[in-house]
Amino acid sequence: MLLSRYLDSVVVRAPAKVNLYLEVLGKRPDGYHEINTLMVTVGLFDTLVFAEDAPGEIGLTCYDPSLSAGPDNLVVKAARLLQERTGCKRGCRIRLVKRIPMQAGLAGGSTDAAATLAGLNRLWRLGLKNAELAELGGAIGSDVPFFFHTPAAWCVGRGEVVTPVPVRARLDLVLLCPAFGMPTAAVYKNVTLPERPESGDAIRRALAEGKVEEIGRLLFNRLQPAAEKLDGRIAEYQECLASLGPAGQRMSGSGSSLYALCRSAAEAERIAEALRKDARRDQFRVFQVRGCV
C-alpha cells in the first residue's frame, strides 16, 4: 500500500494480488478450507481517499453502481471494526476509485479493507502497528492480513497466517480479466482435495532467486480445475494465454482472472497487445502490470 497526505485527507493506493501457487489441504471445522499459497502484489490499484466527518459517522462513495456502499462493503466493515476495537469516536468520509475487477481472484475487496485500516489509522492518529492492523484484518477476510506483509508472502491457515518472502526480480505480468466473475464459495465447494498435496517449496526458492522461467514452470492453482468445470471459458482463456508463449500462465485465486508470467516487459507488451487484438476482446479486460517491490 502507498499512503500519502493531501491537505486534510489521507490517500491510499491499494494493490491487487495474484497467486503464484495455491494448494487446498482440506476443510476446516470453521467451514473454511486450509490452504497454502504464495501471493505477490501487482501494479493494478484501487484508490481510497479518507477525510474527517462528524463523530461516529462512516460514509462511503464509489462511482461504480455495481458496488454496494452499505454496511456489507468490506471498507465500511473495516472502518467500523477499527472504531469498535480502539474506542475511537471520530468519523470519516471515504471515496473509493475502483479499478481492480470484482469477483476476479485479485483480492480487490480485501486490499480495500486493508487500505481502510491503514488509512484511518493515519487519519485518526491511532498509532497502531502493522501487526495490529493485520490482526484486525484477519477478522474481516482471509486475504486482508497479506496486504500488511507485501510485496510477497507465504500464507497458510485459511490464508490469514502470513510470512513475508523475498523477491529477487520484479515480475512482468499480463492480466486477463473476464467480464464475468467467479463465486468463491462455489469454486471451493467443487474443489477436489488432493491425496498428496503439491509442495510450494520449489516455487518459493525460484521467487527468492529471481528465476522467472522456473517460476513460470512451477505455477500452480488447485482451484483452477473446479473453476473450469463451473465455466469452460476459464480453460479457453488458459489455452489462449499459453498459445502466446509466456513463461507460464495460471488462474489467480478462485478466478475469474488469469495471468501470464512474462520473461520481460517487452514480452508482456507483446502478449497484452495480442490479447487486445483478439476477436474476443469485448469479453475480457487486459492489464499489463509489474510486481510491486
The whole-angstrom separation of Cα 284 and Cα 179 is 5
259 Cβ contact partners less than 8 Å away, ≥ 6 residues apart? 18, 173, 174, 175, 176, 241, 249, 250, 252
- What's the confidence (pLDDT) of residue 7? 84
Please check whether residue 227 is in contact with residue 251, taking contact to mean a CB–CB distance below 8 angstroms: yes
- What's the confidence (pLDDT) of residue 63? 87
Every domain of the chain and the residues it spans: 2-164, 172-290
Q: Taking residues 164-179, what's their average pLDDT?
A: 95
pLDDT per position as a tens digit, 187-226: 999 999 999 999 999 999 999 999 999 999 999 999 999 9
- Confirm whether 8 is a catalytic residue: no
| Higher per-residue pLDDT: 281 or 115 | 115
Instruction: List C-alpha distances in Å: 244 to 106, 267, 274.
Output: 22, 10, 8
Single out the catalytic residue among 46, 112, 143, 172: 143
Please, what is the end-to-end C-alpha distance for the chain in angstroms?
A: 11
C-alpha cell at 140: 474481516
- What's the confidence (pLDDT) of residue 114? 98
Please report which helix (H) or strand (E) contains residue 10, including its range.
strand 9-27
pLDDT per position as a tens digit, 57-86: 999 999 888 888 999 999 999 999 999 999
Peptide bond into 151 cis (omega under 30): yes
Fold of 172-290: Alpha-Beta Plaits (3.30.70)
The whole-angstrom separation of Cα 181 and Cα 188 is 14
Of the candidate CATH numbers 3.20.20.140, 3.40.50.720, 3.30.230.10, 3.20.20.105, the domain formed by 2-164 belongs to 3.30.230.10
229 Cβ contact partners less than 8 Å away, ≥ 6 residues apart? 190
- What's the confidence (pLDDT) of residue 64? 87
The whole-angstrom separation of Cα 158 and Cα 110 is 14
- What's the confidence (pLDDT) of residue 6? 84
Single out the catalytic residue among 8, 17, 72, 77: 17
Instruction: List C-alpha distances in Å: 89 to 51, 70, 122, 124, 184.
Output: 14, 20, 15, 10, 35
Query: Above pLDDT 70, what percent of the chain?
Result: 100
- Confirm whether 277 is a catalytic residue: no
Closest by CA to 213, choosing from 267, 265, 262, 271, is: 262
pLDDT per position as a tens digit, 236-272: 999 999 999 999 999 999 999 999 999 999 999 999 9
Strand pairing partners for 92? 52, 58
Q: Taking residues 158-168, what's their average pLDDT?
A: 94
